[in-house]
Amino acid sequence: MPDPSTLPAAMNPPVAMLVIAYNQRQTIAAAIEGALAQDYAPLTIVVSDDASTDDSFAVMQRSLDGYAGPHRVVLNRNPRNLGVGAHLSHAASLCPEAELLFVTAGDDVSLPQRCRVVVDAWLANGKKVDLIAAPLEDVDAGGRVHAVITPSDLSRYRNLRDWLADPPHVIGAAQAWTRRLLEHYGPLPTGVVAEDLIMVFRAIGLGGAITLAEPLVRYRRGGISRRVRTLHASDVVARVLKNNRHALVELPLLLTDARRMGQLDAVEAVLTARLERERFIRALFDAKSTVQRLQVVLRALSVPWSLRARMAVYAICPALLAPWFWLKRRVAR
């Protein structure tokens, strides 16, 4: 591995790795180790804790204590929890000199060549693309690599019509964004969790995006983005309401971004219909009585009956689903 201190840093664009964590005390040290091992300079490493309730921040401090390597390190702890999107935006504000920003989750590990390979690709494209994605190695808790996860080839998305016709498969843990992408559209607000989808959407409307062929991140199974099993009706309701909170932030943001691109006509009908469904769900579960909930169901004429009926069961009479979830629990044993 090249020694970053011997690289011709003056010839390289300054970049930053944003290592963000929330309640990841068991994995954050490995994520930090991967960041410190990068063979690229000049590199700023922002290690940031999102007001964890465990001792993640203490682990961060111990991992960085005594570091005397070539990289500039910034340690941050948010006084309150911002959530993924706003946390990344805040971390980016702590390294204003960086032209390229590498997203790094607190439960994943960047391979040593990650920054160098991505910067080489960015320079080869004349710094024109605004988002660079890469494949990831699927790693279990024991560190064993099982497969390579490859995101969609983002170079084929020329406009939002392409995005809508075939929504890309994206994984934010191996993305890098240009600072101009974040500055052009503004910081991600609190409530955004699908930051990878939103930033790809934004990049398509600015300088475009590409996907590399080489795996650059070890992506840990069972991380914070894992899908939780739903073995009770209450599990489904909790998941629906959690997704709903985020969708009510993200969908208006996508519509605003599309309008700014001058491509609103390509996605307005579909995104507005999705937003109406999310507003229906919120109104349904916010209603205080069965009568009010039935009124919400009957008045939501723009929402498909199948969704209205399904949500009505969860909101009004979830006991009807008890036999189904009993069977699920039996099968899951």
For the chain, give every domain's residue range: 4-220, 233-332
Average pLDDT estimate for 132-155: 90
Average model confidence (pLDDT) for the chain? 92
Question: Residue 12: pLDDT band by 50, 70, 90 thresholds?
Answer: very high
Q: What is the pLDDT of residues 31-61, one digit of tens each?
A: 999 999 999 999 999 999 999 999 999 999 9
Residue 200 has pLDDT above 70, yes or no: yes
- The answer to pTM > 0.85 is yes
Question: Residue 19: pLDDT band by 50, 70, 90 thresholds?
Answer: very high
* Lowest mean pLDDT, pick from 10-14, 171-175, 218-222, 263-267: 218-222
**pLDDT of 192:** 94
**pLDDT of 320:** 78
**pLDDT of 2:** 45
**pLDDT of 297:** 97
User: Two tokens at 166?
Assistant: 């075939």
Q: What is the rounded distance in angstroms from the CA atom of residue 203 to the CA atom of residue 76?
A: 28
* Lowest mean pLDDT, pick from 137-151, 191-205, 247-261: 137-151
List Cβ neighbours of 288 (8 Å cut-off, separation of 6 or more): none
List Cβ neighbours of 7 (8 Å cut-off, separation of 6 or more): 39, 40, 41
Question: Residue 319: pLDDT band by 50, 70, 90 thresholds?
Answer: confident
**pLDDT of 5:** 45
* Secondary structure of residue 109 in the 3-state scheme: strand
Residue 326 has pLDDT above 80, yes or no: no
Residue 171 has pLDDT above 50, yes or no: yes
* Of 135, 267, 158, residue with least CA distance to 206: 158
**pLDDT of 222:** 58
**pLDDT of 9:** 58
* Lowest mean pLDDT, pick from 88-97, 122-131, 317-326: 317-326
Phi (first) and psi of residue 64, to 5 degrees = -100, -10
Residue 211 has pLDDT above 70, yes or no: yes
Residue 235 has pLDDT above 80, yes or no: yes
Question: Residue 318: pLDDT band by 50, 70, 90 thresholds?
Answer: confident
Q: Answer yes or no: are the C-beta atoms of 18 and 92 closer than 8 Å.
A: yes
Q: What is the rounded distance in angstroms from the CA atom of residue 304 to the CA atom of residue 12?
A: 53
Look up tokens 């990841």; give the residue. Answer: 24
**pLDDT of 199:** 98
Structural fold of domain 4-220: Spore Coat Polysaccharide Biosynthesis Protein SpsA; Chain A (3.90.550)
* Of 219, 228, 237, 254, residue with least CA distance to 143: 219
Average pLDDT estimate for 269-284: 98
Would you give the DSSP letter of residue 173?
G
Would you give the DSSP letter of residue 230?
-
